[in-house]
């Protein structure tokens, strides 16, 4: 059934090859007030993400053929929507791979569908970029962050960051003298309602450092503050 043109509900794309589970998730999300679309293959998921323009994708990692990692990688070439990755295995490697290609959060099967719906709600309430509260242009050494265009340049090269990586970097550069613990970063980037493993922050910062060419043992842009967390570096 086609939604009316004035239907402004948030859109959630559910991608899982387990049709019964996908249907259950879709039913709960629908009852929570979201518009929901379900796909069961990676190829169809990429097409739906491009054509339907969801606000959140609930994406199973273990899809046959085009798996969740490749779906997320392709979606990130044209969309900045939130991605909640779902994996059937409590495997740290799977989690790291999912986050490295642009997933914002993850859950491990089996899970409570009610918890998943709540997690989707938290993602939708997430601040649309920590950069909204800081200056339009932030600089640290030869690193420049344009918070309006959401672009990052290092010297003469443009650096492609995920939404989460960008928001973390803007948070650091927006308050360069502040040392942030994990919880403070979660509240600034994911939102105050987010719940889960706070070490997710460390994973995103590791990916951010790698993209910036920042050596954790001798950092220019993101320093580790022992016993506290992280802060902006000196830039030199």
Q: Domain range for residue 43?
A: 11-125
Confidence of residue 1 (pLDDT cuts 50, 70, 90): very low
Judge whether 218 and 181 are in contact, CB under 8 Å: no
Confidence of residue 125 (pLDDT cuts 50, 70, 90): confident
The predicted-structure confidence for 144-174, as pLDDT tens digits, reads as follows 999 888 889 999 899 988 888 899 999 999 9
| Of 162, 170, 166, the residue nearest 137 (C-alpha) | 170
* Predicted model pTM: 0.68
Extended strands (E) in the chain? 11-15, 35-39, 56-60, 82-87, 105-108, 137-140, 143-146, 151-154, 157-159, 222-225, 229-232
Counting beta carbons within 10 angstroms of the beta carbon of residue 227, is it exposed (0 to 12), middle (13 to 18) or buried (19 or more)? exposed
94 in any annotated domain: yes
For residues 152 and 100, membership in a common domain is answered with no
Please report the pLDDT score of residue 49 as a whole number: 95
93 in any annotated domain: yes
* CATH number of the domain to which 164 belongs: 1.10.10.10
Query: What mean pLDDT is reported for the chain?
Result: 86
For residues 167 and 97, membership in a common domain is answered with no
Judge whether 104 and 196 are in contact, CB under 8 Å: no
d(Cα 126, Cα 25) in Å, to the nearest integer? 21
d(Cα 48, Cα 63) in Å, to the nearest integer? 15
Tokens standing for 44?
Answer: 């169809």
Question: Which domain-ending residue is among 92, 125, 158?
Answer: 125
For residues 98 and 158, membership in a common domain is answered with no
What's the structural domain count of the chain? 2
The predicted-structure confidence for 127-144, as pLDDT tens digits, reads as follows 554 444 556 889 999 999
Confidence of residue 193 (pLDDT cuts 50, 70, 90): confident
Neighbours of 134 (CB within 10 A): 16
3 in any annotated domain: no
The predicted-structure confidence for 39-68, as pLDDT tens digits, reads as follows 999 999 999 999 999 999 999 998 988 999
For residues 88 and 155, membership in a common domain is answered with no
Q: From its phi and psi, is residue 53 left (phi > 0), alpha (psi between -120 and 50) or beta?
A: left
For residues 121 and 135, membership in a common domain is answered with no
* CATH number of the domain to which 118 belongs: 3.40.50.2300
């Amino acid at each position: 059934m086609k939604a009316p043109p004035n239907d402004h509900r948030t859109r959630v794309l559910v991608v899982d090859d387990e049709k019964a589970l996908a249907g259950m998730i879709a039913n709960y999300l629908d009852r929570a007030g979201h518009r929901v679309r379900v796909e069961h293959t990676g190829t169809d998921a990429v097409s739906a993400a491009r054509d339907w323009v969801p606000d959140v994708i609930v994406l199973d990692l273990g899809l046959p053929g085009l798996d969740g990692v490749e779906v997320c990688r392709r979606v990130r070439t044209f969309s900045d929507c939130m991605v909640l990755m779902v994996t059937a295995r409590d495997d740290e490697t799977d989690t790291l791979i999912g986050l490295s290609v642009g997933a914002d959060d993850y859950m491990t099967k089996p899970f409570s569908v009610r918890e998943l719906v709540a997690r989707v709600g938290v993602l939708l309430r997430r601040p649309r970029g920590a950069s909204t509260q800081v200056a339009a242009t932030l600089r640290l050494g030869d690193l420049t962050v344009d918070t309006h265009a959401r672009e990052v340049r290092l010297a003469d090269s443009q650096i492609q960051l995920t939404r989460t990586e960008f928001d973390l970097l803007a948070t650091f550069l927006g308050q360069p003298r502040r040392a942030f613990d994990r919880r403070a970063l979660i509240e600034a980037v994911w939102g105050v309602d987010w719940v889960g493993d706070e070490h997710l922050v460390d994973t995103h910062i590791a990916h951010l450092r790698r993209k910036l060419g920042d050596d954790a043992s001798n950092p220019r842009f993101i320093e580790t503050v022992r016993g506290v967390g992280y802060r902006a570096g000196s830039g030199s």
